[in-house]
Amino acid sequence: MAQPKIVILGTGGTIAGQAQASTQGVGYRAGQISVAGLLAAVPDLSQLAAGRTGAVLDAAQLAQIDSKDMDWKVWRSLLQAVKAALDDAGTQAVVITHGTDTLEETAWLLQALLQPVKPVVLTCAMRPATSLQADGPQNLRDAVAVAADEVAGVWVVAAGEVHSARRVLKVHPYRLNALHSYEGGPCAYVEESRVRWIAGAAARAPWSEQRLQQLLAREALPWVEILQSGALQSARAVQALVAAGVQGLVVAGTGNATLHEDLLGALLQARSQGVAVWITTRCLEGQAVGQGALPAEAEHDEISAQLLKAGDETALDCVLLPPSKARVAMMLALTSCS
């Protein structure tokens, strides 16, 4: 019988970054060190995996990018690789090394589409690998510990904390504990290679194989942009995006997903022209109460009706997500309607 394996996929990011000097914490180049090099920097990583569940590590390099430049090509390759690994009966878990800038979107994409019954663990770093006090090696070690714990779901591991894909956000530009989960905090802590769970994540059905393959066959995802409502808001940004052909708008409203009256009028017009519009809140904690929809007169256009009748909980939960993840959710929902 073959040994179980933990698949480790490298995509670049600061965790694989290099600077000219070990004292340099900014101005480095992300995505320079291979995933094999990252594993080599943690000498007991294989022993940690083997000692917990008898697993071996199986590493592959999918990309070498700064995650601020994340695109559909890398996302598609990552989805295909993760799904292939999860479908392999010999795979115990998947670990992904990733940059922090768009980590929250990637984590949510994987959770929304795959709802894995095995652990999928993303990890990262705030300092490049060449730093005097690089945080990547410990984060990678903690990620393997979480993977070996065999708790299903998509998790983000950094600074000794385990976050759910749904709640995690990057909240600081440079501190080591730059990730945070509002409304509840981390789901677990990694303490001396042991994972202490506090709470889990709700599971839903994954996309069907047919829907997932249709998505992976696309050359691009629908064009969706994020707007924010605030003081002195005008309609010009909405009008310009609609004129340019945008397919969907996620609006970060004030308070309980409220909108400036000038912005509201433009969004009503956009919906009448076939643009999907979802509203969430720009508040960092809590979630909007209600469906996050525009007034009744705007709820019956064709695309909105398709979205709301699709039975896709990703679409209906838009007000429960921060704008960055609601945008990913809308992209996925629109693929089901096109």
Residues annotated as catalytic are 14
Enter the tokens of residue 198.
């506090």
Enter the tokens of residue 201.
């994540």
Region class of 27: left (phi > 0), else alpha (psi between -120 and 50), else beta: left
**Beta strand 161-164 pairing with 153-158:** antiparallel
Q: Are 86 and 59 in contact (CB under 8 A)?
A: no
CA-based nearest residue to 97, from 65, 71, 68, 72:
65
CA atoms within 13 A on the CB side of 40: 6
Long-range own/partner contacts, residues 260-267 (CB < 8 A, 24 or more apart):
260/229, 260/230, 260/231, 260/233, 262/233, 262/234, 262/235, 263/227, 263/229, 263/233, 263/234, 263/235, 263/238, 264/294, 265/235, 266/235, 266/238, 266/239, 267/238, 267/294, 267/298
Q: Helix (H, G, I), strand (E, B), or coil: what is residue 213?
A: helix
